[in-house]
A = this chain, B = another copy of it.
Amino acid sequence: MEITRSNLTEKLEEIAEAIDQATFLAVDGEFTGLDKPDCSHSAPFDTAKERYFKLKEGSLEFLMIQFGVCAFKFKEDTQSYEARPFNFYVFPRPYTRQAPDKRFLCQSSSIDFLVQQGFDFNKLFREGIPFLMPTEEDVMRESLAGKHQAFSKFSSPAFVSPDGADMGPGKGPVQIPDEQKDFIAGVCNKISSFIETSESEVLQLAPCNGFQRKLIYQTIRTKFSAVHLETKTGEKKDRFIVVTKVASEDDLKKKEKDKQNAEIMELEEAVGFSKVMKLISKSGKLVIGHNMILDVMHMLNDFLCPLPADLEEFKSMVKCCLPRLIDTKFMASTHPLRDVIPNTALGNLQETLEKGPFTPAKVELMEGFSDYQNATDKYHEAGYDAYVTGCMFATMTNYIGNYKKPDPKPAVAPTEAVLKPFMNKLFLMRIADIPYLNLGGPDLEPNRDHVFHLSFPREWKSADINNLFAPYGSIHISWLNDSSAFVSLFKKDNAAVVLKTLAMTQSQYQLVPYNVYKSKAGVASSLMPPPVPEKASSFVPVSTPTPLLTGLKRSAADPAADDDDSDSNESASKKQRSANKDAAPLAAMEEDEIPELVPRSEGDSDKSSNGRGVTNTPQKMFAEPEVW
């Protein structure tokens, strides 16, 4: 069901009911972009802390413009689910003159991708639901209440000194400057003749500025008792005062009351989408997402509370706002499901789960929610992705629940017991050996003795590094900039001998164990991108020449490079360089940075480079996650 600002108020109750009755909720978001070029990029040897920092710095200035939530209700009798998908368009249109005028980032490739998928930006900007952070809402409510209360207290509000302070000057009305006196006198004459002679009930004054309006208010209130004043906004956004005749003091009060009610309604609409997010949070229901870490970060940051800098604080924040989360991408890429799921991208996963060994969970779309019945081309519409994610979750839950059971059940309810291994673990993309962010406790700190920090001459390319390590089997290179990289051994046992032979030799390169390098560098510095040359920094953010320079210098000389990543290591290097300056084409970046050895990024279009995926030959990389 599509929800915009024109039907939110009407549908809010239905949404609340769906959430309230749900066994679990599946969610998905669409964004105006994924990452800022000037934030150092996700890398295979990030720690959990580093990755959180990079995502927070690099992703939160983009907007979540579409949000899907699908409420799934498990029915014991039929052993099936009832689904109610909602698709929200969300846009922070300044709803009132007081509402914040938000600035937000867009990423060309993301916008292009959404348009390709048929996303309707005109609808978004016209019909998108506004929202306010709770802090913003509280302030507005308080102030509105105060304003209304103050009016009822004083006959002539213009005389109220806002801070009610007794000290110093500033009481009473503003003195009318000489140059305004004629103007005000003119208005007074107009109004008095309107009261005495005019037939009509309403008089519209000419537009004027705020200061003049204040002068009019304070003057009229003292001179005329039989009129009510209200400021309105014209088509051209010009502001003017409307004068209405009133029969009595009561009539005046009534008119004022109506105005106040209208203002309260307006505020309710301005709070908008935040109400939905609060419903989800308050429900405490199990919330499902596919590769959901960015969704979770935006859900909290945009509508509930700005994210903290510290990862542990973030974890406690999630715990209180969204206490139970399951990431289907993590589920699918973890034993025992991993063994029967070759590719965890949403589309591929859906295909896989329709065939054996899986039995698709029975899911019925409830009446009035049939938009997605037999839909196939709706990928990347948030509501549809949420619906699909929920279905996949149900199917995988059935598989897990029946795993190695003698008497498999037709359906397995998503209980704590069954789902414990996956609870509150968010999938982390492209980290070699930390498959998930552990919201429920400390994160994995895998052994990285087989990883080395290598610095070398700028001329070096991946071939040079490969040759250097040739004797020790194949390696993965994770470029940091054009003269340094992390190198990890496929054959971990060779770590000692590598250290012995390569680390000792003084030569044009220098090799240091990962841990030594980290302890030297310190987290802080390792988070910061290398200093940018004066020249590069003189470019404005939206202009991004650097990636070309780097990305193409190579392919220029390398005709085999029919595209900018015919050697992923290589262009990864160059892209990494450029990423540290300005924007690198995200697509290439994503593809290039995928370690050959990490199977789980394969063909993955989930939140990665807007669907520009790759396929690797699957291979096991990271250590088995905690056993259960």
Contact between A210 and B583 (Cβ–Cβ < 8 Å)? no
Contact residues, A334-393 vs B (CB, 8 A): 347
Contact between A594 and B209 (Cβ–Cβ < 8 Å)? yes
Q: Which of A69-77, A280-288, A520-528, A612-620 contacts B (4 or more CB under 8 A)?
A: A612-620
With A466-B175, A556-B150, A596-B179: A106-B108 Cβ-Cβ less than 8 Å: no
Of the candidates B98, B108, B183, B612, the one whose C-beta lies within 8 Å of that of A564 is B98
User: What are the residues of chain B within 8 A of A584 when measuring CB–CB?
Assistant: 101
User: What are the residues of chain B within 8 A of A468 when measuring CB–CB?
Assistant: 169
Mask of A443-454 contacts with B, CB within 8 angstroms, 1/0: 000000000000
Q: Please, could you name 21 A-B residue pairs with CB atoms under 8 Å apart, sorted by A?
A: A33-B103, A61-B540, A61-B541, A92-B542, A98-B552, A101-B585, A103-B542, A111-B125, A143-B556, A144-B556, A147-B558, A158-B560, A169-B463, A175-B466, A177-B474, A180-B596, A183-B617, A231-B566, A237-B613, A238-B612, A306-B538
Q: Which residue of the partner chain B has the closest CB to A614?
A: B209
For A100, A103, A107, A179, the residue with the greatest tally of chain B CB atoms inside 10 Å of its CB is A103
Contact residues, A97-129 vs B (CB, 8 A): 97-109, 111-112, 115, 120-122, 125-126
Of the candidates B33, B236, B548, the one whose C-beta lies within 8 Å of that of A98 is B548
Contact residues, A582-628 vs B (CB, 8 A): 582-588, 591-592, 594, 596-597, 603, 605, 609-617, 619
Mask of A424-466 contacts with B, CB within 8 angstroms, 1/0: 0000000000000000000000000000000001011111101
Contact between A174 and B463 (Cβ–Cβ < 8 Å)? yes
Least distance between A261 CB and chain B CB atoms (Å)? 14
User: What are the residues of chain B within 8 A of A302 when measuring CB–CB?
Assistant: 542-543
Contact between A558 and B150 (Cβ–Cβ < 8 Å)? yes
Contact between B560 and A218 (Cβ–Cβ < 8 Å)? yes
Mask of A543-566 contacts with B, CB within 8 angstroms, 1/0: 111011101111111111111111
Least distance between A482 CB and chain B CB atoms (Å)? 11
Residue A224 lies at the interface, judged by CB distance under 8 Å to chain B: no
Mask of A206-224 contacts with B, CB within 8 angstroms, 1/0: 1111111110011001000
Mask of A47-64 contacts with B, CB within 8 angstroms, 1/0: 000000000000011010
User: What are the residues of chain B within 8 A of A549 when measuring CB–CB?
Assistant: 139
For A93, A139, A466, the residue with the greatest tally of chain B CB atoms inside 10 Å of its CB is A139
Q: Which of A11-19, A160-168, A401-409, A495-503 contacts B (4 or more CB under 8 A)?
A: A160-168
User: What are the residues of chain B within 8 A of A139 when measuring CB–CB?
Assistant: 545, 548-549, 552
Complex-state Cα separation, A163 to B553, whole angstroms? 9
The tally of residues in A whose CB lies under 8 Å from a CB in B reads 164
Contact between A207 and B115 (Cβ–Cβ < 8 Å)? no
Contact between B143 and A563 (Cβ–Cβ < 8 Å)? no
Least distance between A502 CB and chain B CB atoms (Å)? 13
User: What are the residues of chain B within 8 A of A180 when measuring CB–CB?
Assistant: 596, 617
User: What are the residues of chain B within 8 A of A151 when measuring CB–CB?
Assistant: 559
Contact between A140 and B552 (Cβ–Cβ < 8 Å)? yes
Complex-state Cα separation, A470 to B568, whole angstroms? 73
Residue A410 lies at the interface, judged by CB distance under 8 Å to chain B: no
Residue A193 lies at the interface, judged by CB distance under 8 Å to chain B: no
Contact between A101 and B586 (Cβ–Cβ < 8 Å)? yes
Residue A510 lies at the interface, judged by CB distance under 8 Å to chain B: no
Complex-state Cα separation, A161 to B103, whole angstroms? 46
Residue A571 lies at the interface, judged by CB distance under 8 Å to chain B: yes
Of the candidates B238, B347, B551, B613, the one whose C-beta lies within 8 Å of that of A613 is B238
Residue A200 lies at the interface, judged by CB distance under 8 Å to chain B: no
Least distance between A390 CB and chain B CB atoms (Å)? 23
Complex-state Cα separation, A565 to B231, whole angstroms? 11
Complex-state Cα separation, A422 to B115, whole angstroms? 44
Residue A301 lies at the interface, judged by CB distance under 8 Å to chain B: yes
With A165-B459, A207-B614: A102-B97 Cβ-Cβ less than 8 Å: no
Contact between A557 and B170 (Cβ–Cβ < 8 Å)? no
